[in-house]
Every structure is written in structure tokens, then in C-alpha cells.
Amino acid sequence: MDSSVAPEMEMIGNPHTRSSRGGWSAAIFIIFVEVAERFAFYGVSGNLISYLTKELHQPTVVAAKNVNTWVGVSTLFPLLGAFIADSYLGRFRTILISSLIFLLGTVLLTLSVSVFPPHWRKELFFVALYILSVGEGGHRPCVQTFAADQFDEDSPERRKEKSSFFNWWYVAIVIAATTATLLIIYLQDNIGWTVGFGVLAGVLGVALAIFLLGMKKYRKEGPPGSPFTTVAQVFVAAARKWRVDETRSGGDVYYGDQKSGAMSHGQPNARILGRTNQFRFLDKAMIIDNNNDASSKTRNPWRLCSLNQVEEVKLVLRLIPIWFSCLMFNVVQAQLHTYFIKQGSTMIRSIGPHFQLPSASLQAFTGIVILIAVPIYERVFVPIARKFTGHPSGITVLQRIGVGLFLSIINMVVAALVEAKRVGIAKENNLMDNPKAAMRSIGAAAYLSALGVGSFLCNAIILIVQAISSRGGEKWLGDNLNRAHLDYFYWVLVGMSAFSLCVYVWNARRFVYKKIEGDKVSEGQVLQRGFNGYVDVEL
């Protein structure tokens, strides 16, 4: 998104040495701190509900709401972190400070389950958890974008390196998350929580040290200015000129300092976006209503904005209904680290005579399926779909999202059927009460915010379901899953997800893609470039 503050490359020594910085030699140091952070996050979140119910003796419903609240806060804080990074600190400083905060949180988490007196542990444990949330807020929206900054978009060779780097980036994140849900959760369940959390702190400390070793290799950009400011400028400028006549001729439109070199994120020669007909009231923000308006020296950004600024704000507004339509997907995803774990704890998980897989480690199958499915999708599905659709990616981004929403419905249908069968077996074998001892900056932040709101929405649904089901004298959600009706709760999510999918399809069919003047650009590129962000990975 356009910004009134152009980023300044923070270089030590001669600025002409910029080409000697960045690239794989710099980005490889960044991947360590990202992998360690994902490893630590899943090491905590993957088994958090087990700690709350077993060690802190919280009821299952209370523990599930606490997990959802923590995940929600952790995935909403990146909005604040992105704003601070873009407006004040820059990405490198934000990553460094947030990583130190995250490390502090894991150390305090380890101490809270070990050396502190028992009557202090609960309070300190939750303090440590939310310190981790603060660290997440700065780390998540910046680290992937900072890695992308290391590759010069003007160099074809660097662009190719960037594509290769992020392929390995995604693989490394999935492996880190999967390893955490297997190794760390096993240590927590079989050796102790102190060892489990202590390993996370150690891994983070080593990764942060490696990250600092690459300081002299990094390309560091100063704060580019917050996109939130641009959004505000467009609305204020449009409101101040509400009486100005708006035409479609283009002669009175401000394209930037130079039409052939419009400024987008401080980068010259950026492409000029085509005008769209939606949200026409915002077009007044780019109308030149006097001769002094367009002067680069005297232009007031709160009265006159460029065409690119206005069109990118329009894109954000068009994405809002899509964002809301995807919230139920994140409600379904929230079950992965709450009720799915408690459901798994009642099942037989033995592998051979001497090993039992921890219930929380069942989340590892998510990462395993991703590692298997992504290559099949890229190598098999896309080429076949491309022959029928003619689309370079086989199907569009919006179609892929729709398929994901549909699969989330199937996921909850299967979960409901499995739970109904499990409870039936428990009843048949008299196991109801005595069972055997046998989971770019603001662009990433916007994506993560859907996860956060989805977690809070899940809490609201739990409260409503509990209130309604208790009127009949039989709560659907309780500590004893054999006497609860978790399957009914899953069917509620199926219905809500189906409705959400219908709303999504309605919105997607009316979505207007961003246009580039004089050049065709795929909708996949458009959606991935919105907010100048990058796609994140969430298991």
C-alpha cells in the first residue's frame, strides 16, 4: 500500500555495497529464528489444554476457553506488532526485541512449573503465557517479510533464489511444528513439564544467537510507514472533498509524483493500478481540485492521495467480507488444540506393546498430511486442473479457499461421527466413568487476526452451547466426555460452517480483483500482494 514515508535502506558504509548484502547467505540465518519460534509455539500450544486440566485441575470447558483466549490474543497482537514495526522500529529491531521477549516467556514458563512455590505457579504460568503472546505480536508479522527483504526484486537471479528459499521455508516450518507435537509433547507427558519447556527455551536461545551472527549480512529497511495511516488518509481526503465532482476521464486524477513512476511503498516505477467502480466515494481522495494540490512539495496527504493508494484501500474493503466468511474455518481449527486432544485421550493410542502416543501428538498428523499433500497438489492436481481451466495455478486463490472451507465441514462431520461411535463403545463396555489407563508485515497480521477472532468466536459458541444445552439438564460439553455430547457440538459447527461456506461463495462470486494498467495480473498474484504481505503457514 502506498505510504507517505519512503523506506530508507539501512546500510553500514558505502550504500553501493547493497548488492553484497542479503540473498541466501543472509536469509539462512533468519530461518533459524523462525523455525525455533514455531517449534516453541507448538510445543506450548499443542499440549496446553493437558497442562491446564491435569496440573492446574481446570474443568475441560474452562481450559478450552483459556486455550482459545491465549491463541486469540497471540494471533491478534501481530496487528499491533506490524503497526509498531512499520511506523517506528523497522522489521529487524522488532524481530530482535520480540524474540528476546519470547525467550523470556519460555524461561519464565519453565520456572513457573519447577522452582516457584505451588501457590504461585498458576499466576506465573499465565503471566508467562501472555509474555509469549507479546513476543508473538512482534515476531510473526515481521520475520517472513524481513526474509523476503533479503532478495532484490529487481534482480531475476534474486527473484529465483527467493522462490526457492520460501519453498524450503514452508517445509522447515511444517517440520518444526510436527517435531514439536511429537518430541516436546512426549517429553512433557513422560519426563516432565520442566524438561519439555526447558528444551523450548534452549532451542530459542541458540536460534537467537544464530540470528545475531547474521547481523552484518542483513539488508535492513527503515520503517516504511503504516498502511493504517494510508487507509485513514484516503478516508479523510475523500470526506474533506465530498462536494468535489468526480469524473472518470482521468485528467484530474493524481497518479503520484510522476504518472510513469508512481510510488508504491517507496519503490519508484511501481505499476499504476486500474480504476474500479466499487466504493466510488473514495475516488474523491485522488481528485486534484486546485493547482497546488498535486505539487510534491506542498501536497497534503490528508487531502490528496494517489490512485494506487485509493485502489489498494478499495481492495482491503473488498477483502473484508472474504475475511469474515473464513472465520468459521478458524473456529473448526481451534478444536485441534482443545477438544480433539481431550477426545484423543480417551482412545487407544498404543503403538506396539511398550509405546503409547500422547493424545496431543495426534496433531502431528496435520503436518504429515501437509508434507504429503502439497507435493501431490503441485505435481499432480495443478497440471491436470490447468488443462481444464487454463489457469496457471489450476484453480484460483478464491476457489482454493472455498475447497478448504468445504473440507473443514467434512472434517467436523467425520469428528462428530467418530465421537458418536466412541461414546457408543464406551457405553457398551461400561467405561462411562472409569476408563482404562491406557496440535508482508500487515498482510501476515491480517491473516493471523482471522485466527485470533476465530478463537474468540469459538469461546462464544462454547458459552452459547453450554447455556442452551444446560436447560435440558444435560450439558453437551463436560469433563467426562463419555457422558457429554461432544458430537452434538461438532454437528453445530458443521451447520455453522456450511452456512459460512454459502456466504463465502456469495462473496467470492462478487469479488472484484485489483487491475494493473496496461498489464494483466492473475488473481492469485493480486490476493497475495494485498497489503504487500506474504502467505503464512498455520497448522
Confidence of residue 526 (pLDDT cuts 50, 70, 90): very low
Q: Which residue type does 505 have?
A: V
* Strand 220-221 to 9-10 pairing: antiparallel
pLDDT top residue among 368 and 234: 234
The predicted pLDDT at position 411 comes to: 60
Share the mean pLDDT of the chain: 76
Asked if residue 450 is part of any domain, the answer here is: yes
Q: How far apart are CA 400 and CA 374, in angstroms?
A: 13
By the 8 A CB rule, do 282 and 313 touch?
yes
Q: How far apart are CA 384 and CA 266, in angstroms?
A: 40
Of 317, 345, 376, the residue that ends a domain is: 317
CA distances from 522 to 301, 389, 394, 395, 527 (A): 30, 13, 12, 11, 9
Residue 135 predicted with pLDDT over 80: yes
Residue 523 predicted with pLDDT over 50: no
- The most confident of the ranges 78-87, 94-103, 342-351 is 94-103
CA distances from 48 to 64, 305, 451, 463 (A): 9, 47, 17, 20
Confidence of residue 251 (pLDDT cuts 50, 70, 90): low
Asked if residue 474 is part of any domain, the answer here is: yes
Rounded mean pLDDT, 48-68 = 88
The predicted pLDDT at position 329 comes to: 78
Rounded mean pLDDT, 334-349 = 69
Instruction: Indicate the SS3 state at residue 267.
Output: strand
Same domain, yes or no: 247 and 394: no
- The most confident of the ranges 54-68, 151-165, 466-480 is 54-68
Whole-structure pTM value: 0.74
The predicted pLDDT at position 34 comes to: 93
Same domain, yes or no: 37 and 128: yes
Residue 425 predicted with pLDDT over 60: no
Residue 437 predicted with pLDDT over 70: no
Q: How far apart are CA 345 and CA 435, in angstroms?
A: 10
Confidence of residue 316 (pLDDT cuts 50, 70, 90): confident
The predicted pLDDT at position 264 comes to: 42
Confidence of residue 150 (pLDDT cuts 50, 70, 90): confident
Residue written as grid cell 503457514: 537
Q: How far apart are CA 335 and CA 330, in angstroms?
A: 9
Asked if residue 449 is part of any domain, the answer here is: yes
Same domain, yes or no: 191 and 43: yes
Same domain, yes or no: 402 and 467: yes
By the 8 A CB rule, do 488 and 461 touch?
no
For the stretch 68-90, pLDDT in tens is 899 889 988 998 998 898 888 88
Residue 395 predicted with pLDDT over 70: yes
The predicted pLDDT at position 27 comes to: 87
Same domain, yes or no: 49 and 195: yes
Same domain, yes or no: 411 and 516: yes
Q: How far apart are CA 326 and CA 538, in angstroms?
A: 14
Instruction: Indicate the SS3 state at residue 382.
Output: helix
Same domain, yes or no: 522 and 406: yes
Q: How far apart are CA 318 and CA 507, in angstroms?
A: 9
Rounded mean pLDDT, 112-127 = 86
Asked if residue 446 is part of any domain, the answer here is: yes
Can you say how many angstroms the Cα of residue 371 is from the centroid of all Cα atoms in its chain?
19
The predicted pLDDT at position 267 comes to: 44
Asked if residue 199 is part of any domain, the answer here is: yes
Same domain, yes or no: 457 and 523: yes
In this structure, what CATH number is given to the domain that contains residue 409? 1.20.1250.20
Q: How many domains does the chain have?
A: 2
Asked if residue 538 is part of any domain, the answer here is: no
Q: What is the DSSP letter of 356?
A: B
Same domain, yes or no: 57 and 81: yes
Same domain, yes or no: 236 and 217: no
CA distances from 180 to 54, 189, 282, 393 (A): 20, 13, 47, 32
Same domain, yes or no: 504 and 422: yes
For the stretch 163-209, pLDDT in tens is 778 778 888 888 898 899 889 989 998 899 999 999 999 999 999 99
Confidence of residue 431 (pLDDT cuts 50, 70, 90): very low
The predicted pLDDT at position 4 comes to: 40
Can you say how many angstroms the Cα of residue 332 is from the centroid of all Cα atoms in its chain?
15
Strand partners, 519: 516
The predicted pLDDT at position 377 comes to: 79
Q: What is the DSSP letter of 479?
A: S
Alpha-carbon torsion, ordered 159, 163, 166, 170, to 10 deg = 170
The predicted pLDDT at position 433 comes to: 40
Nearest CA to 67 out of 184, 24, 5, 75 is that of 75
Contacts of 181 (CB under 8 A, 6+ apart): 42, 46, 360, 361, 363, 364, 367, 439
- Here the cell at position 231 is 487507509
pLDDT top residue among 58 and 449: 58
Of 317, 336, 355, the residue that ends a domain is: 317
The predicted pLDDT at position 206 comes to: 96
Asked if residue 197 is part of any domain, the answer here is: yes
Structural domain span for residue 234: 227-317
The predicted pLDDT at position 503 comes to: 81
For the stretch 3-39, pLDDT in tens is 443 333 444 334 444 456 778 888 899 999 999 999 9
Of 253, 286, 317, the residue that ends a domain is: 317
Can you say how many angstroms the Cα of residue 392 is from the centroid of all Cα atoms in its chain?
25
For the stretch 287-310, pLDDT in tens is 887 755 666 567 788 888 888 889
CA distances from 480 to 344, 461, 484 (A): 13, 20, 6
pLDDT top residue among 320 and 437: 320
- In this structure, of 186-195, 237-246, 509-518, the range with the lowest mean pLDDT score is 509-518
Asked if residue 1 is part of any domain, the answer here is: no
Contacts of 462 (CB under 8 A, 6+ apart): 61, 64, 65, 68, 477, 489
Same domain, yes or no: 213 and 148: yes
The predicted pLDDT at position 130 comes to: 95
The predicted pLDDT at position 266 comes to: 42
